[in-house]
Amino acid sequence: MTKKQRIRKETAISMLKNDHQKVKGLFEKFENTSSSKAKQKIVSDALMELKIHASIEEEFFYPALRQEMDDEEGLMDEADEEHHVAKVLIAELEAMRGNEYHWEAKFKVLAENVRHHIKEEEGEIFPEAKKTAIDFVALGTSMADMKARLIREGVPRDAEAKMVGKRGLRGDSPAKKAQQKLQVPTKAA
């Protein structure tokens, strides 16, 4: 077997785990970087990684799991919602340049959401998935093909990107109420 063939034999689960390591590394790098130029590059790399990762999961991995896995707890529904929240933040970050108010906060919250999601996938979903009869080598091959295509051609706009585009959300935050000036009641000294 040549090296190239061995790479193509990567299972769906090991492929997703490698992606997880990669994005977690980018989150750490962001936290340890102070240059805003470097931060912008890290965010743009992380957004691309996450979009590709979510697309291949939603196209192959999640549908296969939904059909074959025993999911009494509703893990897959929760995973869908975590993808949704992440994709809204990704769409907002993509519409920003990186010097706006809330840009950094938005990316940090995205990182927290994704770290939590990774923990649930690796800790709860993957162990259940491994109990099924799914051929993760064959599934991994389809996922690797799709990944290569998305890297080549780009990731199509998803429903969240269209939603954010339509609402014309500004870069800061829709939670404007929390930023109003308030007559703050304080305790007597």
Instruction: Give whichever of 104 and 122 is closer to Fe ion, judged by the CB atom.
Output: 122
Do residues 86 and 54 lie in contact, with contact meaning Cβ atoms separated by under 8 Å? yes
Structure tokens at 73: 């707890």
Find, among 109, 104, 100, the residue nearest to 82 by Cα. Answer: 109
Residue 136's contacts (CB-CB under 8 Å, 6 or more residues apart) are 11, 12, 13, 129
Least distance CB 79 / Fe ion (angstroms): 6
Residue of this chain nearest to Fe ion (CB atom): 57
Tokens of 66: 């939904």
At its nearest, how many Å lie between Fe ion and the CB of residue 13?
12
Pick between residue 31 and residue 81 the one whose CB is nearest to Fe ion.
81
According to DSSP, residue 176 is labeled: G
Q: Nearer to Fe ion by C-beta: 38 or 159?
A: 159
Q: 116, 144, 110, 114: which is closest to 13 by C-alpha?
A: 144
Contact residues: Fe ion, CB under 5 A: 57
Least distance CB 64 / Fe ion (angstroms):
13
> Closer to Fe ion at the Cβ: 61 or 103?
61
Taking the complex as a whole, how short is the minimal distance between the CB of residue 59 and Fe ion, in angstroms? 12
Cα 23-34-92 angle, rounded to 5 deg: 55
